[in-house]
Amino acid sequence: MDKRRIGSLDVSVVGLGCNNFGWRIDERASADVIHAALDAGVNFFDTAESYGDGASEEYLGRALRGRRDDVVIATKFGHRSGHPHRGAHPDHIPKALEGSLRRLGTDRVDLYQLHTPDPNVPIADTLGALDALVTAGKVREIGCSNFSLAQLEEADAVRTPHAVRFASVQNELNLLQREEQDVVAASARDGRAFLPYYPLASGLLTGKYRVGKKPPEGTRITEGGRYSPLLDEENLELVERLARYAESHGRTILDLAFGWLLSFPAVASVIAGATSAAQIRSNAAAAGWRLSAAERDEVDELLG
């Protein structure tokens, strides 16, 4: 599989998002997914202290025993959901990292990411604490997630000279939700990697949802949660247009979803979750479509 750069890190253009581990699938199923990813050439694994309340990191660490030097591990800290003591305060960050290192069974995190902006802590303070962890050799690169363009610019502006900077930003981006393209463009300009999550719009871009067909049961979109609003008439009609375009090129809408994202030079790795080995193999294969400039223009015209 092709690789791109996040700072000093070489990562596969398809990464495995580990948010399902410890929540939607158990440890055995998680290990199957991880091993299938390795077999498919995936070397980039993205987790967080909050996924499965720590179980995701534990499952990932145990499944990667003996393969640590072959992979790039990214994890996140600071998401306060259910844990009000978390955040981006300098006093909390070293403790959060030690917890992640223990659960992952490693002595370093390759990419350590602030999961969400913390309005209660100056970003300069957070960057100072992260710089100390890089200097100590416990973190190789730092990144952020769910940051706006203005927040990224602020982080760059207040950074101490010669201190570490955010090497990546991980935000939601896919064919149906394209609001982050200003951040993608700025990332290309500033030499920062962009990591799109939810590349398949929570499954809507997998080909399972088509006009006139009954949606599959038991999926994230059909379970009635916060993803259900995605399944509306407008999105289904757009999915139908995109699927027909992909099929006219002998491809699937899944291939198009990955190919479109990887046509952005700033995109280093497409972070895709999976609950089965089959999904991993499909995702890895989808990265083979490199859209030409003309194809990219045609897709953008379809998107409107």
- pLDDT (tens digit, 9 = 90+) per residue, 234-259? 889 999 999 999 999 999 999 999 99
Q: Is residue 71 part of a domain?
A: yes
- 106 burial (CB, 10 Å; 0-12 / 13-18 / 19+) is buried
Distance CA 212, CA 214 (A): 7
What are the tokens at 266?
């700033």
Give the C-alpha separation, 18 to 75, whole Å.
Answer: 10
What amino acid is encoded at 266 in this protein? A
pLDDT value of residue 222: 63
Q: Is residue 143 part of a domain?
A: yes
Beta bridge partners of 267: 194
Lowest-confidence range among 44-53, 80-89, 219-228?
219-228
Give the pairing of strands 193-197 and 109-114. Answer: unpaired
d(CA 124, CA 239): 42
Q: Is residue 234 part of a domain?
A: no
- Please report, for the domain that includes residue 148, its CATH number: 3.20.20.100
Q: Which two tokens stand for residue 124?
A: 């300069």
What's residue 218's pLDDT? 66
Residue 219 lies in a domain: no
107-122 mean pLDDT: 97
Residue 243 belongs to some domain of the structure: no
Asked whether residue 110 is domain-assigned, the answer is yes
Contact criterion met (CB below 8 Å) for 61 and 30:
no
128 located within any domain:
yes
Residue 265 belongs to what domain range? 3-206+256-291
* Mean per-residue pLDDT of the chain: 94
Q: For 197-228, how does the pLDDT look when each residue is reduced to its tens digit (9 = 90+)? A: 999 998 899 988 777 777 777 676 766 666 67
pLDDT surpassing 70 at residue 185: yes
Total domains present in the chain: 1
Question: Considering Cα of 237, then 243, then 246, then 247, what sign does the dihedral take?
Answer: negative
Which candidate, 89, 108, 87, places its Cα nearest to that of 97? 108
* Residue 93 included in any domain: yes
Q: Indicate which residues carry an active-site annotation.
A: 51
